[in-house]
Amino acid sequence: MKINYHVSLKDFNTFGLDAKAACLIEIEDWDDLQALSDSTSDFPKPYYCIGQGSNLLFSRDYEGTLIRMANNSWEVIEEYQDYVLIQAGAGCIWDEFVEQTLAKGYFGLENLSLIPGTVGSSPVQNIGAYGAEAAQFIERVHCFDWETGLFATLEKEYCEFGYRQSIFKQHPSWVVIWIEFALSKMAQTQTYYQALEDYLEKNELDSGNPLVVRSAVVEIRNSKLPDYKKIGNAGSFFKNPVVGAELFESIRAKHPQMPFYVESETTYKIPAAWLIEQCEWKGVRLNGAGVHENQALILVNLGWATGKDVLELADRIVESIKNNFGIQLHPEVIVL
């Protein structure tokens, strides 16, 4: 267990914000977690578990203790005719894990390529992209509650997975340690997501090859999303809102070209990026923060932003969408 006090968080959040934490603890194994539970009174509160900081906005210095898992290995723990069960440490870098499993002939995660962050964040956020979600492949999650000192294993049916949601978001004292993934040994792909399907067809690529799908996803993401190492950002800042039929029809009557996805017989998902563009926020700058010029769903650190700058810009966008469309946007990014 590595303990550091008064730590700069610039290297621990992809926004590149130079906030500070009163304490940062890096955990390597089960014994570290137990020791942490036995000595919680020794460290400033509140506690919060972070990964790569790819989905966080530090609006100010963090006065408590941040916990970071450093277990970064994975292994096949069970193998069957058609699939394998893999146990991966929460500290694994997500995209490296995706690349490595595909290289071994274990398929399923290709649509989730190039998503920043760690494996430990995948069940918390139920990360998703291009028609796939982590919940499709997670079998169980091993976690630790630092408040009670208890270890627990949650089967997938008890994880309460939803769109960018899980039970883990409701329990900030739970630390994800290991995740078990069921991945196919058969090359089965999901390419019905429109942007992915269009790219594969346009370039005459084999949609049934998971490695080809991964490459396509990487190309698409690189063409649309800024590299956080060059310009600070946390990916998609807002969730795509889901609205009822009445509101959907009223908006569509005014904007017949509006893109949407059918969620159910009575609900529809509208791309938040489209809403933001319609309100002319694309490329707008406010203090040290801005809306990316090529992707309206991404807020960026222009190099000198504070967390308050980003939060103020986000709040103004939310107000604008509410006033113009009657839709309440909710952040995908977690604000601390």
How far, in Å, CA of 295 to CA of 298, rounded? 6
User: pLDDT by residue (tens digit) across 24-60?
Assistant: 999 888 788 878 777 767 888 888 888 888 889 999 9
Cα 122 to the center of its chain, rounded Å: 7
Environment class of 6 (CB within 10 Å of its CB; exposed 0-12, middle 13-18, buried 19+): exposed
Phi, psi at residue 44, to the nearest 5°?
-65, 145
Taking residues 312-323, report their average pLDDT. 97
Average pLDDT taken over every residue of the chain: 92
Identify which of 248, 14, 36, 256 has the alpha carbon closest to the alpha carbon of residue 151: 36
Residue scoring higher pLDDT (228 or 108):
108
How far, in Å, CA of 212 to CA of 205, rounded? 7
How far, in Å, CA of 164 to CA of 15, rounded? 20
- Active-site positions? 164, 236, 332
Taking residues 85-106, report their average pLDDT. 96
pTM for the full predicted model: 0.81
Q: Is it the case that residue 89 has pLDDT exceeding 70?
A: yes
